[in-house]
Amino acid sequence: MSKNIILYAAILVFGITAPFIFPAFKVQLSILCVLIVLALTWNIQGGEMGYNTFGNILFYGLGMYLCASVQVGMFFPLAEWTESGGEKTFVHTPAQFFQGMAVGLVVAAVVPTIVAGLIGYAILGLRGHYFAICTLGLGVAAGEISGGIEIIGAGQGFTTPPFPDVGGLEARGEFFYLLSFVALVLTFIAVRAIYSTRFKLILNAIRDNEDKAEAMGIQTMKYKIIGWMISAFFCGLAGGIMGGLVGYIDSTDVAFDGREMGVFMVLMAILGGKGTLWGPVIGATVFHIFKEGFWTFFLGWQYVALGVLIVVIVIYFPEGIMGWLREKYPERFGEVVDEADRKAQVELK
């Protein structure tokens, strides 16, 4: 146990000092934090509950739009803001910016949670691939519809409030890094806490055999909805932060980007290992490093690489890194391996 505490402390110290050690990578590190949050929340559905969703992008995009809209709408007329595009007709004072961000993030987390509850009631009764395709449809529909709504910028996009003039670019990077890191820590603590309760066992029961779980007297629908709401909460939060970080929201390219972010979160969780606590974290980190390398050195070919990567991971590596490690070193995962038993198996071969 003490080993774990040292590990967590080391990660925490690294996380806090990272932007000062690698000042050039501040934005990358913030994006990494957001990606890990998304992978962790996807894992609650896809990994633990067995409901493979492409639709968590819905909450991410919703959070992004809500946070920016609240941040603008609290102080200025929203329609005129989006009308003016990137031009600075209205300027937030520092106090207004941070107040708006705080309220915006709360709204960005809470509203998607409620939406998840409502939608979840309707579609969580679907199973397997029907659920997957339905959520895929939801994500794309949200993108198409939000791209037609005038007040949030329609096709031309929504510029989020620029960071106020305190400390310049350095401060902006540090602020957003801190924000995303706090979100990551909160998410990790929450997910870890969930995974040590009966709730996780119920989710696993639903994954393994939903009919039997129901027969055992578990109200599966209730737990499925709660699970999805937890995901939506953190997805919305991550979306709100990402919106401020990117500085520009477009309906299909940034917010409801099913082709990128929507697939990334699935891929990261699978790459790291579904149904494990650390899998999504490792998967997201590896994926982000790989992706940035590709995006930098093979600009233009990144989607080709992404497509090939998805196929390769899914076909040859469906257990992920954690699954592979578990097979290799079962002792480390608390599985008791009988030496005599293993020897006997080796001899049999």
Partner 1 sequence: MDFMVFQYPMITVQACLDGILLGILFALIAYGMALQWGVMNIINIAQGDLVILGGYIAYFMYLYGIHPAWGVIIAPIIMFFVGVGIYKLVINKVVDRDLFISILATFGISILFMQLMNFAFGADVVLANSGYGTTFLFDSAVVLPNSKIFSAFVSIVFAIGLVIYMKKSKLGRAIRATAQNARAAKILGVDTEKVYAATFGINAALCGVAGALISITFTIHPYMGLPYTIRSFMIVIVAGLGNLPGVALSGMGLGVFEEFADYILGTEFRIGAVFLLLVLILVYRRFKLSRKREYLK
| Footprint of partner 1 (CB under 8 A) | 52, 122-123, 125-130, 132-134, 136-138, 140-141, 143-145, 147-148, 155, 259, 263, 266, 270, 300-301, 303-304, 306-311, 314-315, 318
Sign (positive or negative) of CA dihedral 180, 55, 148, 77: negative
Nearer to partner 1, 179 or 206 (CB): 206
Q: How far is the CB of 259 from partner 1 (least distance, A)?
A: 7
Nearer to partner 1, 149 or 289 (CB): 149
296 and 252 Cβ atoms separated by less than 8 Å: no
- For residue 15, which of 36, 31, 29, 27 has the smallest C-alpha distance? 29
Q: How far is the CB of 310 from partner 1 (least distance, A)?
A: 3
Q: How far is the CB of 111 from partner 1 (least distance, A)?
A: 19
Q: How far is the CB of 107 from partner 1 (least distance, A)?
A: 24
232 and 59 Cβ atoms separated by less than 8 Å: yes
Q: How far is the CB of 334 from partner 1 (least distance, A)?
A: 26
Tokens found for residue 218: 């578990």
Nearer to partner 1, 7 or 118 (CB): 118
Whole-number Å distance between alpha carbons of 95 and 137: 40
Nearer to partner 1, 95 or 215 (CB): 215
Q: What is the dihedral of CA 70, 244, 260, 29, to 10 degrees?
A: -150
- For residue 94, which of 164, 197, 38, 32 has the smallest C-alpha distance? 164
Q: How far is the CB of 318 from partner 1 (least distance, A)?
A: 6
Nearer to partner 1, 12 or 314 (CB): 314
Q: Residue 158, SS3?
A: strand
Nearer to partner 1, 14 or 303 (CB): 303
Based on its alpha-carbon atoms, the radius of gyration of the chain, rounded to whole angstroms, reads 21
